[in-house]
Amino acid sequence: MALSLGELATRHGCELVGDPSVRVSGVATLSNAGEGQLSFFVNAAYRNDLRKTRAAAVILQPADMDDCPVPALLAADPYLAYARIAAELYPPSGGSAGVHPTAAVADAAIIGDDVAVSANAVVDADARLGNGVFVGPGAVIGPRCHVGDGTRILANVTLVEDVVIGDRCIIHPGAVIGSDGFGNALSENGWVKVPQVGRLRNGNDVELGANATIDRGAIDDTVIEDGVRIDNLVHIAHNVRVGAHTAIAAQTGIAGSTDIGQRCMFGGQAGIVGHISICDDVIVSGKTVVSKDVTEPGFITGVFPGEPDRLWKRKVAHFRRLGDLVKRVSALEKAGGKGGK
């Protein structure tokens, strides 16, 4: 697909500097872009690349125009404008509407208009697919699962059962949605499985990454609200609620019955213990463990960056002596207090 800069400026609210008839059909980095390719500039570290770029056009802020040797689309937030334009240049691919001969669709399933069900996919009894849904190769839509209009279920995704997926969602390959939570009661003879009878409810415009796993509720539902972004290899346990427009980076783990507010952000490998609440607009740094309620917006960080082994071992030795040091300081404070009377 090739679009003119004039079209893009009008549709995306940008100010155009340059020839409106110039057409772009793809995107590339500043250093690699050439004829017909669009790039963007947001990081001052790449200013030299901007000055030398051969892109057909660059999306940037007005203050950076003097360093741009090619036509430009001026935007207050260049990266956001780039995201929207790139989505237009690269529309999602998918099979044409219809059911592949190797797919298995139950007679009791309800299939909307313009639905594509790919090779070896399974749509089970009482499942419902809305209009324009795409089901990728090998995907499984389990019993009583509902998938909203325009949602894309990619290859080898499993919606286990009783999963509700909203409109315009994307679920990437290998994700397992609605499996049993980790519910077990210990008896004198070993573990007894606790039946997981809740559902998984997923809102509109949600994106779930490859191999992400989200458990169904134990009794009440697990809930992922509108606009949430979940990266690859994230695990969300039963009865968690994730507030609207929260973003969770790869390898984060969230334990059961945690309540997360809106517009939160979690860095990679963050760990959240169960049965706590995190308010709106909290940012948790990568590898940070959150072990108690967070009641005020802001940054939460608890990470020891890597450093030379010798220095780390010295600090660990100091940490191990902290208890003795506290006792000595406490004793000195008591002794000083008595001496002053």
CA–CA gap between residue 68 and residue 308 (Å, rounded): 42
Is the predicted pLDDT of residue 340 greater than 60, yes or no? no
User: Is residue 198 predicted with pLDDT exceeding 50?
Assistant: yes
Residue 251 has a pLDDT of: 98
| Cα 16 off chain centre by | 32
- Burial label for 226, CB within 10 Å (0-12, 13-18, 19+), is middle
Distances from the Cα of 10 to the Cαs of 60, 72, 88, 207, in angstroms? 16, 13, 13, 28
In this prediction, residue 194 carries a pLDDT of 95
Q: What pLDDT score does 338 carry?
A: 58
**Average pLDDT score over residue span 318-335:** 91
Q: Is 43 left (phi over 0), alpha (psi -120 to 50) or beta?
A: beta
125 vs 139: CA distance, rounded Å? 15
Q: Phi first, then psi: what are they for 192, rounded to 5°? A: -115, 125
Average pLDDT over residues 37-58: 97
Under 8 Å between Cβ of 235 and 253: yes
Q: How sure is the predictor about 335, in pLDDT bands with cuts at 50, 70 and 90? A: confident
Q: Among 146, 238, 245, 275, which one carries the catalytic annotation?
A: 238
Q: Is 146 known to be catalytic?
A: no
- Tens of pLDDT, residue by residue over 67-114, are 999 999 999 999 999 999 999 999 887 778 899 999 999 999 999 999
Q: Is the pLDDT of residue 141 over 50?
A: yes
Q: Is the pLDDT of residue 256 over 70?
A: yes
The confidence score (pLDDT) of residue 304 equals: 82
On the CB side of 283, CA atoms within 13 Å amount to 3
Six token digits for residue 46: 């790449």
Q: What per-residue confidence (pLDDT) applies to 341? A: 47
Q: What is the pLDDT of residues 277-320, one digit of tens each?
A: 999 999 999 999 999 999 999 999 988 888 999 999 999 999 89
Residue 339 has pLDDT above 70, yes or no: no
